[in-house]
A and B are shown apart, each in its own frame.
Chain A
Amino acid sequence: MSQTGNVLVIGAGIAGMKASLMLAGASNKVYLVEKLPIIGGKVIKNEESFPNLECSTCMVAPIQQDVLQNPNIETLTYSIVEKIEGKLGDFSVVIRKKARYVSLTDCIGCGMCYEPCPVSLKNEWEENLIDRKAIYVPCSGSLPNVPVIDSEHCLKLNGKEECNLCVESCAFEAINLDDSDEVMEIKVGAVILAAGSSTFDLSSLPNLGYSTLPGVYAPMEFERLFASNGPTLGEITLRESEKIPESVAVIHCAGRKEQKYCSAVCCMYSFKFARFLKHKIPSASVFNIYSDVCVPGKNYQSFYKSVEGTDTEMLYTSSIDEVQVSENGPGLKVTYSDASGSMTELNVDMVILAAALVPDDDAAELAEIAGVDLDSRGFIATVQDGSGSMETSREGVFVAGTAEGPKDIQNSVIQAESAAGQVMDIVTAEVSGS
């Protein structure tokens, strides 16, 4: 088969992986490009996923394995797409495979090389809650389980000092400090953009105290704090004081007003957090401060009802945009207007902000490279013909998952399979017809 049966998928989160597996199953050759050294996306940051609080690793690891072992999928980790030219059925794509310095085929993931590395810096994947070395895997359980060397911080690679410690510690001769970027050109018939999303920049909301008050957390920070493979091995302790919080407020809709949309998942993950907190700290008091509960679909309200009143007290505020978080001795004070409009204070040890899902930092750049339009909010736009088509403004280029807008795992998977279905339907029809 020519390039017709080849598909480029950008982003190896749940959406990108599911789309790739479906296409590969129908004997299409898939190039799956992921910018991080590992695949899995955001879901693997969460120990458990709503609505069933199912173990995310158990859910995603088999999918990751299937992707890595599928002979029809060429997974290019630590890589970026630089150019997409051509048209439906005949795209030329330029991909840069960044130097990893560790061989994906020779390394067995034993981890012997981390310890000797003298460099230590914040691990971004762990939301900067713990340190990593210059040679590292983002987290335990990473797939592929092969480290990468951060060339910016490696003493040898940034030219600061002679160092060869990791090379010496590797019995498999898997490390090559002379590795360099590789640029490859491929031909594909269609493209699926599944590059995911990010969360709202909470430091732009001074009233909520994020980044100034150490007890205030972003949701992903809390996910990592809860995760048993995370920085605290799953122990929920506060930044700086290392205390176990006895009272926690989860404040909904952070960034909703600014973004002008409801993200539809933050209520659910807020309730999940309440369950997590009560599970690990049974004596803790947990409050959810909210204006609206958005639990769409057949499975969600029952989860909400199961936490309401048991795991968390629900505190209604008539104005979610005006909630204030301030310092209060060693703890925090949350001020909000209650149902009757009068200002109420709540003293807590910890605050978690339910941040909106927003376009990824490099969404605009990706759109530019892919030659597709963004919508008014900065997500990748679909044709908007009312059919829920996943096709973008450029024929042959599709989008799926949270790259298109906020959504949960279920809808990300549906869009991925829907996009893959469209690729198989349209692209093959187009080419056989012409």
Chain B
Amino acid sequence: MKEFEMREAGQDKNLRAKVGVYICECGPNIAGKVDLDKIIADLSQLDDYQDVELVVKKYGFLCSGPGKEFLEEEIRSNGYTHLVVGACSPRDHDSTFMGVCKKTDLNPYLYRIINIREHCTWVIDDKEKATEKAFSYIRGGISRVLRQSELFEKPLDINPDVLVIGGGIAGMEAALSLSGEDRRVFLVEKTDHLGGISLDLSGLLPGQGEIIKNKIDSVTEDKNIRLFLNTSVETVIGFLGNFEIELVSIENAETTDIMAGAIVVATGSSLFDPGESAHLSYSESDEVYTSLSVEKMFSGEGEARLRSGKKPSSVALIHCVGREEKNYCSGICCSYMMKLAGFFRNQSPDIQVTEFYRDLCLPQKDDQERYTEAEAAGVEFVRIKDISIKGTEVSFEKMNSKKSEQSFDMVVLAPAIVPSADTEELADLLTVPLDESGFFQEVHKMTNPVGTSTDGVFIVGTAHGPKGVSDSMQFARASAGQILTRLIPGEKLIPEVKVTEILEAYCTGCGNCLDVCVYGAIYSDDSRGISVVNEAVCRGCGNCYGSCPSGALRTKHFTNTQLYREVDEALR
């Protein structure tokens, strides 16, 4: 590390600059708590640098309209090469003063704000100590600004088109929300039809059945949506605004290359395999079914019959199959099981329906009323501590520890919603991490649930986690909103400027940094035997900085020299 520092510090000798240092009085907030005249006098006399001219001044309120005009005029008339502002928190006014620089010829990255209010005058009562600290801070700031370099924004052209992977209800809704005269959507579905799981469901929430059929028609008719059935995504490279994608036909292995600015992942989910549950044992011939196969019976034949062809006269509905194993609650099964109970009762009004549940999870605002109705209609709800199922024999322990057994004509299981089969493979392809439950991980659980760490890749529907049709569609529209905001046809994108670079001469190509970067911004250039940062993807987080054994990484605007020299001078 020392060696690297010296390399960077080499330029120190011939520092030649004219630095403007402006201290804001902030009324009594700064002026009243430190001896500003002393600070100005001491700074003016600094002999830290041979060829650096310092001009130190104070002003009442630099952030005010007249203050900004004053500063702008000062930069112009004095021809500063660098600017330091001693004022408040950068959270308040960093962007204000960068804005002032932008109006002049001074590159905004050759300016620095030093917080002498929140860090000094607001926290130190002793005027002498506050004065001393404010002086040191500004001295450090001057030292840092002298090592800063000009940085320039590099606007990128973007492609507004979007790739949607998965043609279930979420993928279709995303595609329809996004398609337009100036934005094409490529919708890729691996099966030979649109609709996903919802197609097999019967009696969804009022209106939902129609919605799915309508959406399929709309997608098929939309001339701005290009539909690829029986197709999967083979390769993806690129970043927000510019992805290159190769699609491959599952039928004939033919490939198609497309370009898109964003990718929406809507690959849905599958069901927990009840065979993995220790509580269950049954064979093919037993009258034990998953909820989805019963949904299919109702949506196909309109009724649910036993293998013998008879209608069941008693049904056990088993909630939470796989909840313990997966360690999450799918949040929709309680509700759709009550829906199924209703179907069974419609089919045979005298049927005995018993729901075995562990907790009733009724998160949607209509759920509880449906429960009350089901209970009033005679569906029996049994809260259990434990259960084991052999064929259609159900042994259970109630909350009061009483154990019982009961036999049913039919047993219906509500298996947990689990990630779909291709999730891992796709996650790899898109460099999106999976979360603890194996679903795609959002970039932030609360404030950005549809975004991922790969900017430009969004997750919607049950690919994000278990949820119902309405919520899946809301996620889809939220992703569309983000894309409509970020990729505006004809407009350019301005990527982060304070990015990391790899100094080619020092990089040994060990690849340590590749693993550290959660944004997948670093790739290895095998022909040159080094690692390279893709500046359009890098967010300048600095995670990789410490991982390089040869000190080849440099995060612009946060170089070692800049940081060390600031600290050195501040502590002198």
A contact residues vs B (CB 8 Å cutoff): 14, 18, 22-23, 25-27, 49, 51-52, 54, 59, 63, 65, 69, 108, 110, 112, 171-172, 256, 260-262, 264, 292-302, 305, 316, 318, 339-341, 375, 377, 379, 384-390, 405-406, 408-411, 413-415, 417-418, 420-422, 424-425, 429
21 CB contacts below 8 A, A to B, read: A22-B485, A108-B27, A108-B29, A110-B29, A262-B368, A292-B362, A293-B359, A295-B328, A295-B361, A296-B332, A297-B328, A298-B465, A299-B328, A300-B329, A386-B205, A386-B469, A387-B473, A405-B364, A409-B446, A414-B449, A414-B450
Contact A417 B361 (CB under 8 A): no
Residues of chain A within 8 A (CB-CB) of B362 are 261-262, 264, 292, 294
Residues of chain B within 8 A (CB-CB) of A260 are 368-369, 372
Q: Could you tell me the distance between the alpha carbons of A15 and B91 in the complex, rounded to whole angstroms?
A: 23
Contact A425 B480 (CB under 8 A): yes
Cβ distance B255 to chain A, nearest Cβ, rounded Å? 32
Out of B29, B369, B401, B488, which one reaches A261, CB within 8 Å? Answer: B369
Residues of chain A within 8 A (CB-CB) of B365 are 261, 375, 377, 379, 405-406
Cβ distance A267 to chain B, nearest Cβ, rounded Å? 9
Contact B207 A384 (CB under 8 A): yes
Contact A386 B208 (CB under 8 A): yes
Q: What 1/0 flags go to B191-234 for Cβ under 8 Å of A?
A: 00000000000001111101100000000000000000000000
Cβ distance A430 to chain B, nearest Cβ, rounded Å? 13
Q: Could you tell me the distance between the alpha carbons of A408 and B327 in the complex, rounded to whole angstroms?
A: 20
Known A-B contacts: A59-B447, A299-B436, A386-B210. Give 19 more (CB < 8 A).
A108-B88, A261-B369, A293-B359, A297-B329, A299-B328, A299-B445, A339-B401, A340-B401, A379-B365, A386-B211, A386-B469, A387-B469, A414-B450, A414-B475, A414-B478, A421-B477, A421-B480, A422-B177, A425-B477
Q: Could you tell me the distance between the alpha carbons of A27 and B490 in the complex, rounded to whole angstroms?
A: 13
**Top 6 nearest A-B pairs by Cβ distance?**
A296-B331, A421-B481, A388-B470, A386-B207, A417-B478, A298-B465
Contact B211 A387 (CB under 8 A): yes
Contact A424 B484 (CB under 8 A): yes
Residues of chain B within 8 A (CB-CB) of A405 are 364-365
**B208, B364, B435, B477, most chain A CB atoms within 10 A:** B477
Determine if B556 is an interface residue (Cβ-Cβ < 8 Å): no
Out of A18, A26, A261, A389, which one reaches B447, CB within 8 Å? Answer: A18
Out of B173, B207, B330, B437, which one reaches A385, CB within 8 Å? Answer: B207
Contact A296 B329 (CB under 8 A): yes
Residues of chain A within 8 A (CB-CB) of B473 are 387-389
Contact B361 A387 (CB under 8 A): no
Out of B332, B435, B446, B466, which one reaches A54, CB within 8 Å? Answer: B446
Cβ distance B431 to chain A, nearest Cβ, rounded Å? 20
Question: In the complex where A261-B362, A262-B368 touch, is A418 in contact with B466 (Cβ < 8 A)?
Answer: no
Out of A302, A384, A388, which one reaches B469, CB within 8 Å? Answer: A388
Cβ distance B372 to chain A, nearest Cβ, rounded Å? 7
Contact B27 A171 (CB under 8 A): yes
Contact A387 B27 (CB under 8 A): no
Residues of chain A within 8 A (CB-CB) of B360 are 262, 292, 294
Cβ distance A427 to chain B, nearest Cβ, rounded Å? 12
Question: In the complex where A108-B27, A302-B327 touch, is A296 in contact with B469 (Cβ < 8 A)?
Answer: no
Q: Could you tell me the distance between the alpha carbons of A300 and B328 in the complex, rounded to whole angstroms?
A: 7
Residues of chain A within 8 A (CB-CB) of B450 are 414, 417
Residues of chain A within 8 A (CB-CB) of B480 are 421, 425
Residues of chain A within 8 A (CB-CB) of B465 are 297-299
Residues of chain B within 8 A (CB-CB) of A293 are 359, 361
Cβ distance A62 to chain B, nearest Cβ, rounded Å? 9
Residues of chain A within 8 A (CB-CB) of B478 are 413-414, 417-418, 421
Out of A27, A318, A386, A390, which one reaches B204, CB within 8 Å? Answer: A386
Contact B173 A340 (CB under 8 A): no
Cβ distance B57 to chain A, nearest Cβ, rounded Å? 20
Among B327-373, those with CB < 8 Å from A are 327-332, 359-369, 372
Out of B206, B327, B448, which one reaches A413, CB within 8 Å? Answer: B448
Q: Could you tell me the distance between the alpha carbons of A387 and B176 in the complex, rounded to whole angstroms?
A: 13
Total A-B pairs, Cβ < 8 A: 195
Contact A387 B470 (CB under 8 A): yes
Q: Could you tell me the distance between the alpha carbons of A63 and B446 in the complex, rounded to whole angstroms?
A: 12
Determine if B323 is an interface residue (Cβ-Cβ < 8 Å): yes
Cβ distance B60 to chain A, nearest Cβ, rounded Å? 10
Q: Could you tell me the distance between the alpha carbons of A299 and B406 in the complex, rounded to whole angstroms?
A: 34
Residues of chain A within 8 A (CB-CB) of B28 are 110, 112, 171
**A377, A406, A410, most chain B CB atoms within 10 A:** A410
Q: Could you tell me the distance between the alpha carbons of A196 and B173 in the complex, rounded to whole angstroms?
A: 27
Cβ distance A358 to chain B, nearest Cβ, rounded Å? 11
Contact A418 B435 (CB under 8 A): no
Contact A294 B26 (CB under 8 A): no
Among B479-519, those with CB < 8 Å from A are 479-482, 484-486, 488
Among B391-417, those with CB < 8 Å from A are 399-401
Among B12-59, those with CB < 8 Å from A are 26-29
Q: Could you tell me the distance between the alpha carbons of A171 and B485 in the complex, rounded to whole angstroms?
A: 42
Determine if B97 is an interface residue (Cβ-Cβ < 8 Å): no
**B361, B367, B435, B472, most chain A CB atoms within 10 A:** B361
Question: In the complex where A52-B445, A260-B372, A414-B471 touch, is A25 in contact with B207 (Cβ < 8 A)?
Answer: no
Determine if B148 is an interface residue (Cβ-Cβ < 8 Å): no
Cβ distance A413 to chain B, nearest Cβ, rounded Å? 6
Determine if B467 is an interface residue (Cβ-Cβ < 8 Å): yes
Q: Could you tell me the distance between the alpha carbons of A302 and B446 in the complex, rounded to whole angstroms?
A: 16
Cβ distance A142 to chain B, nearest Cβ, rounded Å? 14
Contact A51 B445 (CB under 8 A): yes
Cβ distance A380 to chain B, nearest Cβ, rounded Å? 12
Q: Could you tell me the distance between the alpha carbons of A348 and B359 in the complex, rounded to whole angstroms?
A: 26
Contact A302 B328 (CB under 8 A): yes
Chain A residue at minimum C-beta to C-beta distance from B439: A298
Q: Could you tell me the distance between the alpha carbons of A393 and B198 in the complex, rounded to whole angstroms?
A: 26
Residues of chain A within 8 A (CB-CB) of B293 are none
Q: Could you tell me the distance between the alpha carbons of A226 and B306 in the complex, rounded to whole angstroms?
A: 57
Contact B469 A264 (CB under 8 A): no
Contact A417 B482 (CB under 8 A): yes
Question: In the complex where A261-B367, A261-B368, A385-B211 touch, is A301 in contact with B328 (Cβ < 8 A)?
Answer: yes
Residues of chain A within 8 A (CB-CB) of B474 are 388, 390, 414-415, 418
Determine if B235 is an interface residue (Cβ-Cβ < 8 Å): no
Residues of chain B within 8 A (CB-CB) of A171 are 27-28
Question: In the complex where A260-B372, A302-B328 touch, is A417 in contact with B477 (Cβ < 8 A)?
Answer: yes
Q: What 1/0 flags go to B261-287 for Cβ under 8 Å of A?
A: 000000000000000000000000000
Q: Could you tell me the distance between the alpha carbons of A296 and B177 in the complex, rounded to whole angstroms?
A: 27
Residues of chain B within 8 A (CB-CB) of A172 are 27
Determine if B78 is an interface residue (Cβ-Cβ < 8 Å): no
Residues of chain A within 8 A (CB-CB) of B488 are 26-27
Contact B27 A297 (CB under 8 A): no
Q: What 1/0 flags go to B89-106 for Cβ under 8 Å of A?
A: 001000100000000000
Cβ distance B341 to chain A, nearest Cβ, rounded Å? 17
Cβ distance B64 to chain A, nearest Cβ, rounded Å? 8
Cβ distance A15 to chain B, nearest Cβ, rounded Å? 11
Contact A410 B177 (CB under 8 A): no
Cβ distance B95 to chain A, nearest Cβ, rounded Å? 7
Cβ distance B478 to chain A, nearest Cβ, rounded Å? 4
Contact B363 A305 (CB under 8 A): no
Question: In the complex where A297-B331, A418-B481 touch, is A388 in contact with B206 (Cβ < 8 A)?
Answer: no
Residues of chain A within 8 A (CB-CB) of B435 are 298-299
Residues of chain A within 8 A (CB-CB) of B207 are 384-387
Cβ distance A374 to chain B, nearest Cβ, rounded Å? 12
Residues of chain B within 8 A (CB-CB) of A424 are 481, 484-485
Contact B449 A410 (CB under 8 A): yes
Residues of chain B within 8 A (CB-CB) of A379 are 365
Cβ distance B288 to chain A, nearest Cβ, rounded Å? 25
Among B78-136, those with CB < 8 Å from A are 88, 91, 95
Q: Could you tell me the distance between the alpha carbons of A379 and B364 in the complex, rounded to whole angstroms?
A: 13
Q: Could you tell me the distance between the alpha carbons of A233 and B399 in the complex, rounded to whole angstroms?
A: 41
